[in-house]
Each structure stands twice: as structure tokens, then as C-alpha cells.
């Protein structure tokens, strides 16, 4: 039929999960890590990794087609992209986030239909009684490390954009609530030489956070505090940060946290928020809408529009709320206690 719609969108989506799972599996099996040292043949890799040679070659060739590997004769090597983002000990690695996606998100998304029917996340149904992502990922040291490594890799791709979205040079002490490995706090201290920062997260996170913080050139200006930001007192600061935190919760729980932060801030103090913003008419962006579905299967939260965040922040008492679309995977929001000051402007 000459007037039939183009099927390419449907065909592309039919293939999408296969491509993701090929990359997930190559990371899981240690292929990129093994090839980090030198090019190797399928036979060599199969012997070292204890894999079926014929099946492995099929996966390797698939990864070549995905531009994750390169092949010369019988030898395979990492592409520059894989060497940077899929080797576990690369400074910019996303391997932890890939593992998190494979071991958790891939399974949770299988329950999307039930999530839509019931309006509830899929953690308990998928992982045998653990009711939340956080229960699951803080269940033991290995799980905590895997989760935090994933969040660190993702955070490194966005933190520099966020801390430069607004001029934050007016502030003196940043407390990053739920700051994990400290990627945003460190980026902020690099950008603003007079800034001191505290990473606040649950006590089991400290060991892993310090592994990253102590290697930073701004380590002398970044400290760690172990606490639950909902249950415990939070340190005094003139700037707080919530990086991909609010999308985990429903409005009543968010109001508790925002009200607590507002009460702690001095007049003129600020709250820097990192989230992906939906268009007001929910027409996009595509990433944000897919992330909204991700929050449906993962948490009790959701992604929100500018007006929804503005309403939450003003209900908590913030008089001034500014938004900055970064063009990346997350955007920046800056809320001020009190009237807007002359120094407050998007960069």
C-alpha cells in the first residue's frame, strides 16, 4: 500500500530491547573489562571467562555491530566509547549504571502492565517482599556498592551542568542531601573556589563516598555526614541540594522534606534541585516521559512539570523559583527563601 504509514518506528522499538540486553550481557560477563588490557580472540576470551566460544563469538559480533567493539581479523578490542564508559575502572564508567539497569530496571519494566493496572511500583512483586528500591540496594555491602557506583557514573555526566546552571558564587556552604558519592558536591567546589560542601547520606554510604572524595582535588573542602534526611537533623547551610531525590516520592512526603529544608535555611538561602522536567502539556521530552514510566515501576514518585515543582516549593514557603533546562538528561531548579536578589540569574 503506497499510502501506508512507515513501520520503521515500530520495527526500531521491536529491536531496542535486544540491543540493550546485548550491552548489558557483555558488561555482566566482563567482556569490556577483559579487553581493556589487550585485543583478544573469541577463543581466548572464552577460555578466560569460561564461556561457550561459539555463543560468545555471536555476542562479540553483535557488539561490533553496535559499535561497542571493533574487530581486526580474529581479534576483538573495545571501541573508544566502550573503553570510556563500559570498562569498570574507567573514571567516566557507566558500567555500574548498566548493571543496575540490567539487574533491576529490566526486571521491573516487565511488570509495567501491572503497574498501570494498579498504579503501584513493582519492587515487592519483583524482588520478593522488599518494598522499595532503597531497601533493596542497602541490603548488604555488595548491593550498596553496585548501586552507588551506578549513581556515581550517571551523576558524573550531569553534575557539571547542574552546578553551573545558576551563579552559585553567593553561597558559602552546600549540603547535598542524599549526595551519595559526592559527585555534585565535588563539581560545585571545583566550580566555586570559596564553597565548602557536606555530603549527607545514610551511614553505610560513607565508606564508598570517601573512596571518591579523597581522590578529588577539592577533598579538603568536602566532608561527609551520615544521617537520614527525613528522620534526622540536617546540618546548617545556606545552600541545600536535592539531586534526583524528589522524583522518588509522592507530594505529601516531598512537602515534609521541603518544609524541613525551608525552616533550616537562612533568609536568602537556596535549594538547588536536579530533576528532569516534563513539558507543561506532557508532550515531551521523550527521555523525561520514559523516565516517568521508570519511576512508576520503581518508586512511589514521578517526574513533574515546572508548574508542579513551583507549586510544591511555594507551598513549603519558597518565594522565588527559577528553572534552567540544561539540554542534558536532567535540569536545574533553584528556589530561594525570601525575595529574588540581584545576583540570582541563570548563567
Tell me the catalytic residues: 247
Cell (9 digits) for 121: 511500583
Strand pairing partners for 346?
166
Q: What is the CA radius of gyration of the chain?
A: 22
Q: How many CB atoms lie within 10 A of CB 344?
A: 17
Measured CA to CA, the distance from residue 192 to residue 259 in angstroms comes to 27
User: H-helix or E-strand containing 269?
Assistant: none
Measured CA to CA, the distance from residue 48 to residue 24 in angstroms comes to 19
Measured CA to CA, the distance from residue 109 to residue 121 in angstroms comes to 10
Measured CA to CA, the distance from residue 70 to residue 244 in angstroms comes to 35
Strand pairing partners for 9?
none
Cell (9 digits) for 102: 540490567
Where b means 16+ CB within 10 Å and e means fewer, 33-43 reads: bbbbeebbbbe
Compute CA distances 99 → 23, 158, 208, 241, whole Å. Answer: 10, 19, 17, 26
3-state class (DSSP) for residue 138:
coil
Measured CA to CA, the distance from residue 143 to residue 341 in angstroms comes to 44
Cell (9 digits) for 65: 555491530
Contacts of 91 (CB under 8 A, 6+ apart): none
Measured CA to CA, the distance from residue 284 to residue 279 in angstroms comes to 6
Amino acid at each position: 500500500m503506497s499510502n501506508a504509514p512507515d513501520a520503521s518506528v515500530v520495527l526500531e522499538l521491536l529491536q531496542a530491547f535486544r540491543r540493550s540486553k546485548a550491552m548489558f550481557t557483555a558488561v555482566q560477563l566482563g567482556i569490556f573489562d577483559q579487553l581493556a588490557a589487550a585485543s583478544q580472540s573469541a577463543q581466548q576470551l572464552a577460555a578466560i571467562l569460561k564461556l561457550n566460544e561459539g555463543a560468545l563469538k555471536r555476542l562479540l559480533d553483535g557488539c561490533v555491530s553496535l559499535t561497542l567493539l571493533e574487530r581486526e581479523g580474529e581479534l576483538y578490542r573495545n571501541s573508544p566509547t566502550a573503553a570510556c564508559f563500559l570498562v569498570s575502572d574507567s573514571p567516566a564508567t557507566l558500567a555500574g549504571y548498566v548493571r543496575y539497569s540490567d539487574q533491576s530496571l529490566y526486571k521491573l519494566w516487565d511488570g509495567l502492565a501491572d503497574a498501570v493496572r494498579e498504579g503501584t511500583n513493582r519492587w515487592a512483586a519483583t524482588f520478593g517482599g522488599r518494598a522499595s528500591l532503597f531497601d533493596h540496594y542497602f541490603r548488604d555491602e555488595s548491593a550498596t556498592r553496585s548501586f552507588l557506583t551506578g549513581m556515581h557514573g550517571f551523576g558524573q555526566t550531569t553534575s557539571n551542568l547542574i552546578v553551573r546552571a545558576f551563579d552559585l558564587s553567593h553561597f558559602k556552604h552546600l549540603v547535598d542531601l542524599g549526595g551519595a558519592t559526592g559527585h555534585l558536591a565535588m563539581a560545585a567546589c571545583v566550580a566555586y573556589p570559596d564553597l565548602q560542601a557536606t555530603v549527607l547520606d545514610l551511614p553505610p554510604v560513607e565508606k564508598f563516598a570517601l573512596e571518591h572524595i579523597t581522590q578529588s582535588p577539592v577533598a579538603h573542602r568536602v566532608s561527609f555526614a551520615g544521617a537520614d534526611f527525613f528522620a534526622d537533623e540536617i546540618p546548617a547551610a545556606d545552600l541545600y541540594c536535592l539531586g534526583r531525590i524528589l522524583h522518588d516520592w509522592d507530594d505529601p512526603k516531598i512537602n515534609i522534606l521541603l518544609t524541613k529544608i525551608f525552616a533550616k535555611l537562612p533568609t536568602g538561602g537556596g535549594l538547588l534541585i536536579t530533576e528532569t522536567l516534563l513539558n507543561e502539556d506532557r508532550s515531551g521530552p521523550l527521555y523525561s516521559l520514559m523516565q516517568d514510566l521508570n519511576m512508576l515501576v520503581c518508586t512511589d514518585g514521578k517526574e513533574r512539570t515546572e508548574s508542579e515543582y513551583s507549586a510544591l516549593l511555594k507551598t513549603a514557603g519558597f518565594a522565588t523559583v527559577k528553572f534552567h533546562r540544561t539540554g542534558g538528561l536532567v535540569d536545574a531548579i533553584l528556589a530561594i527563601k525570601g525575595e529574588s536578589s540581584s545576583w540570582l540569574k541563570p548563567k
